[in-house]
């Protein structure tokens, strides 16, 4: 039967499995040792009650309570931060004992990666925001090696992991950094090829037409422009431009004609619009008098195939067949979305 004994001198209390065991072991305790333990516990409790908690004053990446960072950087001495610092110290001491303590690693790969990011147009402030670090720390790591300011040779593994996890792509670039304009230019040309006029595209992008033309002729554009054009391309590449009024139909037809004259490809002609080589035109690989029977049938039925999408031989065939069916020049021009003058010239050939 279990029994509990308490010392009348120091107050030491213990629980035993039986009375004989209590009679044998309880007198062996040290009253001085118990009193010392009680005093230490009281002092720890007093310190815990008087510990000063400090809130983090760092902007951008505030430290949270209960971490060693708050204990060191903010000098917070609350119970949670003190316990976290103690646990971190014990872990470090254990790793040192076993010979596994590696608080720093070589910073060479980090320097190379920062140089790559900077060369790709990603600024120091953007890198700091993506890594969750201070701008001054990133600037120090990215600085070149100089006699008056030597480069950092060793770095903590957690810091290296944060920086090396930043990849070079448009989504992580600063909005005003410059990127290759090939993808943006091809997307705009493809939209124009299916009838979206440059003026309408400029309106959709909230830009002036002159600014859009500069983006189409410049070797580089800003990352923000590339992202905006890519988003607009995803939205409009599968849609037809408005054709409700005469002006809208004229603008769409003019856009298609302009794209055809410049050899611009529609969206479906591209496998990878950013990196693929320019696809060869089907008309360039065929004889001038080759006829696409499906295209002719669709043009005769008014199924979306317009005059400018046909080869010269197909144009002549469609105009001849429609004329043979008794269609007037005006009706043929409206169905093929071209001008009466063009139909008249084709009929005279």
286 belongs to a structural domain: no
Of 149, 172, 195, which residue constitutes the final position of a domain? 172
67 belongs to a structural domain: no
43 belongs to a structural domain: yes
**Rounded distance, CA 30 to CA 179, Å?**
77
**Rounded distance, CA 199 to CA 332, Å?**
28
Q: Please give the average per-residue pLDDT across 213-221, as a whole number.
A: 90
pLDDT reported for residue 286? 43
Q: Please give the average per-residue pLDDT across 276-280, as a whole number.
A: 72
Q: Please give the average per-residue pLDDT across 13-38, as a whole number.
A: 93
pLDDT band at 46 (very low <50, low <70, confident <90, very high): confident
CA dihedral (325, 326, 327, 329) in degrees, to 10, reads: 120
Q: Please give the average per-residue pLDDT across 34-47, as a whole number.
A: 88
**Average model confidence (pLDDT) for the chain?**
85
Residue of 286 and 297 predicted with greater confidence: 297
Are residues 257 and 185 part of one domain? yes
* 185's tokens: 């230019």
Residue 16 pLDDT exceeds 90: yes
Residue of 51 and 158 predicted with greater confidence: 158
pLDDT band at 172 (very low <50, low <70, confident <90, very high): low
Q: Please give the average per-residue pLDDT across 332-338, as a whole number.
A: 88
Distance of CA 178 to the CA centre of its chain: 16
Number of Cβ within 10 Å of residue 290's Cβ equals 12
279 belongs to a structural domain: no
Instruction: For 61-117, write each residue's pLDDT tens digit.
Output: 678 888 988 888 888 988 889 899 999 999 999 988 998 888 888 988 999 999 888
> What single-letter DSSP state applies at residue 221?
E
85 belongs to a structural domain: no
User: What burial letters (b/e) apply to 13-52, b meaning 16+ CB within 10 Å?
Assistant: eeebeeeeebeeebeeeeeeebeeeeeeeeeeeeeeeeee
Provide the domain count of the chain. 4
pLDDT reported for residue 284? 44
Instruction: For 292-332, write each residue's pLDDT tens digit.
Output: 788 888 888 888 888 888 888 888 888 889 888 888 999 99
284 belongs to a structural domain: no
Instruction: For 220-247, write each residue's pLDDT tens digit.
Output: 888 889 989 999 999 998 888 888 888 8
Dihedrals φ, ψ of 162, to 5°?
A: -60, -45
Are residues 191 and 159 part of one domain? no
pLDDT reported for residue 33? 94
pLDDT reported for residue 240? 86
> In this structure, are residues 23 and 46 in contact, taking their beta carbons and an 8 Å threshold?
no
307 belongs to a structural domain: yes
What domain range is 299 assigned to?
A: 293-348
Are residues 263 and 298 part of one domain? no
Are residues 340 and 303 part of one domain? yes
**Rounded distance, CA 320 to CA 54, Å?**
88
Handedness of CA 266, 268, 270, 273 (dihedral sign): positive
Are residues 44 and 116 part of one domain? no
Of 10, 26, 50, which residue constitutes the final position of a domain? 50
Give the percent of the chain with pLDDT over 70: 93
322 belongs to a structural domain: yes
Of 172, 202, 228, which residue constitutes the final position of a domain? 172
pLDDT reported for residue 4? 94
Are residues 312 and 264 part of one domain? no
Instruction: For 50-66, write each residue's pLDDT tens digit.
Output: 777 888 877 766 788 88
């Amino acid at each position: 039967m279990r029994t509990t004994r308490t010392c009348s001198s120091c107050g030491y209390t213990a629980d035993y499995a039986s009375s004989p065991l209590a009679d044998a072991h309880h007198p062996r305790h040290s009253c001085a040792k118990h009193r010392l333990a009680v005093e230490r516990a009281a002092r720890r409790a007093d310190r815990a009650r008087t510990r000063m908690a400090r809130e983090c004053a760092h902007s951008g990446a505030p430290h949270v309570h209960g971490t060693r960072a708050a204990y060191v950087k903010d000098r917070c001495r609350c119970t949670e931060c003190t316990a976290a610092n103690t646990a971190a110290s014990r872990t470090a001491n254990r790793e040192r004992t076993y010979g596994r303590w590696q608080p720093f690693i070589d910073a060479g790969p980090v320097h190379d990666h920062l140089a790559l990011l900077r060369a790709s147009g990603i600024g120091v402030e953007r890198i700091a925001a993506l890594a969750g670090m201070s701008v001054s720390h990133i600037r120090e790591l990215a600085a070149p090696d100089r006699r008056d300011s030597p480069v950092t040779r060793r770095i903590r593994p957690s810091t290296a992991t944060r920086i090396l996890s930043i990849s070079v792509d448009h989504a992580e670039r600063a909005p005003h950094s410059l990127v290759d304009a090939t993808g943006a230019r091809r997307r705009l040309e493809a939209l124009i090829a299916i009838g979206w006029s440059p003026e309408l595209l400029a309106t959709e992008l909230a830009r002036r037409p002159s600014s859009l033309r500069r983006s189409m002729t410049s070797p580089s554009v800003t990352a923000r422009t590339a992202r905006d054009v890519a988003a607009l391309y995803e939205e409009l590449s599968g849609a037809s431009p408005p054709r409700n009024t005469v002006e809208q139909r004229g603008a769409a037809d003019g856009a298609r004609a302009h794209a055809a004259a410049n050899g611009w490809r529609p969206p479906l002609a591209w496998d990878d619009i950013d990196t693929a080589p320019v696809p060869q035109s089907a008309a360039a690989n065929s004889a001038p008098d080759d006829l696409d029977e499906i295209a002719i049938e669709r043009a005769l039925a008014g199924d979306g195939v317009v005059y400018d999408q046909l080869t010269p031989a197909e144009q002549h065939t469609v105009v001849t067949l429609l004329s043979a069916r008794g269609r007037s020049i005006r009706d043929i021009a409206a169905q093929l979305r071209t001008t009466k003058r063009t139909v008249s010239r084709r009929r005279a050939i």
